[in-house]
Chains A and B, each alone.
Chain A
Amino acid sequence: MFSRAYKAAVTLPPLVWVTVFLLMPYLLMFCYSFWSVSASQTIVHSWNLDNYGQLLRVDVYWQTLLRSMWIAARVTVFSLVLGYPLAYFLSFYAGKKKDLLYQLVIIPLWVSYLVRAYAWKTILGSDGVLNTLLQYVHLTKHPLEFLLYSPFAVVLTLTHIYTPFSFLPIYAALEHIPRHLVEASHDLGATPGQTFWKVILPLSIPGVVAGATFAFVLSLGDFLAPLLLGGPSGIMISNIVVSLFGAAYNWPLGAAISFCMLLLVVTLLVFSERLEKKWSFS
C-alpha cells in the first residue's frame, strides 16, 4: 500500500532517535559499569565486576536500595488506598460533577514538582504550618521533629505527587467496565458491596496493576523529594547515584547501581504487563 521509500521515511527518524538517545547511552552506561576510576581520577577501561561486588559488599549501597524499595512500596500502597476510592467514587457516583472532579485531580500535575515538594517543607517544618497549629491548640508543647527530614516526609510527599498517576489508570479501568455488568449483578441479587468485590474489583485489576507500577517505579527513582525533605535518614538510591556521578566522581560505580535499578524496573514492568494481560477480558 505504501511505498518502500515512504515506509523508510517514517520509520527511520524514531529509530535513529531511540538508538542515539536511548540505546547508545544505555550501552555506554553498561560499559561504564565494568570500568573503574584510577587514583588520578581518570576512567580506566579495565573490564571486571568490581563495581557490582562493591554494591553487595558496602552496606550503605544495598541498604539504601532496600530502603528506597521500602519507601516506594509504602508510596504504592498509600497511593492505591487514596487513588482507588477516589477513582471508584468518580466513576460510579460523581454523576454530573464527574468532569469537574476529574480536572481537580489532574490540575496538580500541571504544578511544578518543586513547588509541591517545597509546599510540604513549609507545612512540615519545625516552624511550619502543622507544628504551629498543633502547638496553638496545645496538642504538643514542642515542634514534632520527625515530620520533616525523615522517611515519613518522603513517603508523604511522594504519595501526594504520585497518587494522580495511580488514580488515572484505575479510573480508566473503572470507566471501561460496562455498566450493564453492574446491573446484571444487582439483578442476580448481589448487594452493592458484593457487586464491588465480585465484579468491579476483579475487572479493575489491570488498572490497579498499572497504577501500582507507576507509583512504585516513579517513586523508586525519585531523588528530589529525598533531597529536599528526606534528611540523612531519608536518602534514597537515586541520591547516591547523583552524588556518584557528581561530587564523588565515580561514574563506573554509579553506572553499576543505575544498571541494577534498570534491571529491577524492567523486570517489574514485564511482570506487571503479564499480570495486566491475565486480568484483561476485552
Chain B
Amino acid sequence: MTTSEMAVITTSASDRAGRDSLLSIRKVAKHFGKNVVLRDISLDVAEGEFLTILGESGSGKTTLLRIIAGFETASAGEVWMGEERLDRQPPYRRRVNTVFQHYALFPHLTVEQNVAYGLRVAKRPEVEIASRVAEALEKVKMSVYAKSKPSKISGGQQQRIALARALVNRPRLLLLDEPLSALDANLRRQMQVELKSLQREVGISFIFVTHDQEEAMVMSDRIALLRSGELEQVATPREIYGRPATAYAAQFIGHTNLLKGEVRGGTVRCGLLTWAAALPDGPALFSLRPENVRLATGNSAAGIVRARGRVRHQAFHGATELIRVECADGSVLVVRTPGSGGALNDVELEFTATDAILVRESPERI
C-alpha cells in the first residue's frame, strides 16, 4: 500500500468515527435509457457536516442531489436517513429541503408568504408561523422585504429568501444546487462566507453542489469529487489538495504539475529528475503543486530534487508569481513563487521529494 492511499483511508475512517452519519447513500446508480449518469455511488453525510459535491457540468452532481431530494428515482441503490429508507418516500415526506439553482420562489406570493409556505402546508398554528417566519427573515437580514413580491427584489436577495424558506422548516438536511452560480463574483464571495457561518449557526447538514473548486475549498468540511458519474475522491479540502488520490483530482482542484515517471529499485526517474522513494517498481504518476517548487537556494539537503531550466512565461499575480519553466528534457514545470523581483531567464529549481505525491490514473475500486 502506498503512502497516499494510506492517508486517504485513515483520515476518512477517523472522520466517520467522530460524528454520527445522518444520510447514507448506498451504491446508487442512475441511467436515463442507455445514458449512464451515476454509477455505484456510496457516500455518508455526517450530522452537521458541510459536504460539497464538486464536479464539472455533466458529472451527475445535480442528478445525485435530485435523487436525495426525491425528484429523480435511482435506478439502483438506496438512500437512508438514520433508520429510515428515504428513496421510497415522495419528496414531500422527506425531511430534506432544497435551495434551487434559480431559487424557485413562488411569483404569486410575497416574500413572507414564500417563507411561510412549508409551515402553512404542514398546518402549523398561525402564531407559530408568524414568529418563525419573522425569525427566519431576520436571520437572512430580509425583514424589510417581507411584503415584497419576489420579482421586485434582486438576485442576491431572492437567494436569501430561498434559503430562509428552506431553513424555516428546520430540515435535518439542506440541499443546495449551485445556489451561488447566478450571482456576480463579489456578492458570491460574500454569500460563501455568510452561508458557511449560517450553517455553523443552525447546525444542519448541508449538501452543496457546485462546479467551482474554489468555492468548494472555502466552504466545505468535506468534498466529494464526482467525475462522469463516479466518485473520484471524498476527503477534506486540505487532504484532497495536499494528497490528491488521482491525477484528475490533482488537476481539478488547484493547479498542479503532473510528472510521469518510472520507479526502479527505489529510485524514481521522471525525465531528468530523480529521487529516492520506497515504491514498488513500475510506471508512476506524481502530482507536484507549483507552490512546492522553489527557485534554488543553493543549500543542499537530503531529499531535495533540483532541476535547471529556461523561463518560458512569467505571470505576475500580485502576492505570487506563476513561472513556466522548460527543463532541458523539454518537460515543463509550473512554479509559484512569492514575487521574484523581476524578469528571469535561466533558473535552477528545487523541491522536496516528499512533496511529489503519487497519484493514480483513475480511482481505485473496492
Contacts and interface: CB of A to CB of B under 8 A. Distances in A.
B256 to A, nearest CB: 37
B243 to A, nearest CB: 37
Given A188-B118, A189-B122, A190-B117, A183 B107 contact: no
Interface stretch (B94-102, B326-334, B338-346): B94-102
B104 interface: yes
Interface in A175-223: 178, 180-181, 183-192, 194, 198-199, 202-203
B90 interface: yes
B106 A191 contact: no
Given A183-B91, A279-B108, 13 more contacts: A180-B104, A183-B69, A184-B98, A187-B91, A188-B165, A188-B169, A189-B118, A191-B92, A194-B121, A198-B117, A199-B106, A203-B108, A282-B107
Interface of A: 178, 180-181, 183-192, 194, 198-199, 202-203, 279, 281-282
A282 to B, nearest CB: 8
Contacts of A184: 98, 100, 104-106
A281 to B, nearest CB: 4
20 contacts: A180-B102, A183-B98, A183-B100, A184-B98, A184-B105, A187-B97, A188-B97, A188-B118, A188-B121, A188-B169, A189-B92, A189-B118, A189-B121, A189-B122, A190-B117, A190-B118, A199-B106, A203-B108, A281-B108, A281-B149
Contact of A190 (B105, B121, B151): B121
Nearest to A281: B107
Nearest to A178: B104
Interface residues of B, number: 27
Contacts of B166: 187-188
Nearest to B165: A188
Contacts of B93: 189
Contacts of B237: none
Nearest to A194: B121
B55 interface: no
A183 B90 CA distance: 11
Contacts of A281: 107-108, 149, 151
Nearest to A199: B106
Nearest to A183: B71
Nearest to B177: A180
B117 A188 contact: yes
A202 B149 CA distance: 15
A185 B96 CA distance: 12
B70 interface: yes
Contact of B98 (A187, A198, A202, A282): A187
Contacts of B98: 183-184, 187
Nearest to B168: A188
A203 B107 contact: yes
Interface in B38-83: 69-71
Contact of B108 (A186, A188, A191, A202): A202
Closest 9 CB pairs of A and B: A281-B107, A188-B118, A184-B104, A190-B121, A186-B91, A180-B104, A186-B92, A187-B98, A202-B108
Contacts of B105: 184
Interface in B112-131: 117-118, 120-122
A156 to B, nearest CB: 35
Contacts of A198: 117, 120-121
Nearest to B113: A198
B106 A187 contact: no
Contacts of B69: 183, 187
A201 to B, nearest CB: 10
A181, A186, A194 — most chain B CB neighbours (10 Å): A186
Contacts of B97: 187-188
Contacts of A189: 92-93, 118, 121-122, 169
Nearest to A187: B98
A62 to B, nearest CB: 40
A203 B145 CA distance: 22
Nearest to A184: B104
A189 B96 CA distance: 9
A256 B107 CA distance: 45
A180 B101 CA distance: 10
A168 to B, nearest CB: 22
B217 to A, nearest CB: 28
Interface in B149-164: 149, 151
A279 B97 CA distance: 28
Contacts of B91: 183, 186-187
A189 B104 CA distance: 15
B107 A180 contact: no
A272 B165 CA distance: 33
